[in-house]
Amino acid sequence: DLVWIPSVETMYPDGFATTVSVAGVSETFDGAARPGHFDGVATVVGKLFNQVRPDTAYFGEKDFQQLAVIRRMVSDLDMGIDIVGVPTQREDDGLALSSRNIYLDEEERAKATALPRALGVAARSIGRGDDVEAALSDARATLSAAGFTIDYVALADAETLAENPDADRPRRLLAAARMGSTRLIDNIAIEMPES
């Protein structure tokens, strides 16, 4: 095994002045909540790819927008790297593993399981062909009742992250919500109807 751990000076030498910006896919959801965040992600990941020159790179699906940004960058810049999404790792009760979970107190941690449950119910409903807006509204109501403050619950195209995607394309249900002062994100794929 080999680990590449470049220094700050290697990554950002004196006079460093270049930023990689991936339009479209980076602008909604977390990109709207954190302007410039995905420019930083694309820049550092692009530099790491140039330094290491991998054939394949693996990124967790938990931060699905980040994964979409990296896939778009690699495609647009002809980097020739296979980007593989790794399924979200979850606690036994379904909550996505995250370093942010340590900021939840015991009561908040118990209530936080409403996030994956609400997304699962909505995803199954949408996958069956039920009304999308009703499913999203139900998910939002479930999260609010559990004590979440909702940033967004939305259905998006799994590649472009455009909202209101066609049902014949891969889709992703995305959510960000705060439990107390802790902001949690999660997402789930919508199963494609069998043809």
Q: Evaluate whether 185 touches 151 at the Cβ level (below 8 Å).
A: no
What does the DSSP 8-state code read for residue 134? H
Please enumerate in sequence order all residues whose Cβ is within 8 A of that of 97, keeping only pairs 6 or more positions apart, or say none: 62, 88, 89, 90, 91
Torsion angle defined by CA atoms of residues 141, 146, 147 and 148, in that order, rounded to the nearest 10 degrees: -60
d(CA 2, CA 24): 35
Check residue 136 and give its pLDDT: 98
- The answer to pTM > 0.85 is yes
Check residue 195 and give its pLDDT: 58
For the chain, list residues with pLDDT below 70.
Answer: 193-195
What does the DSSP 8-state code read for residue 96? B
Least Cα distance to 70 among 44, 52, 89 occurs for 44
Least Cα distance to 72 among 114, 27, 30 occurs for 27
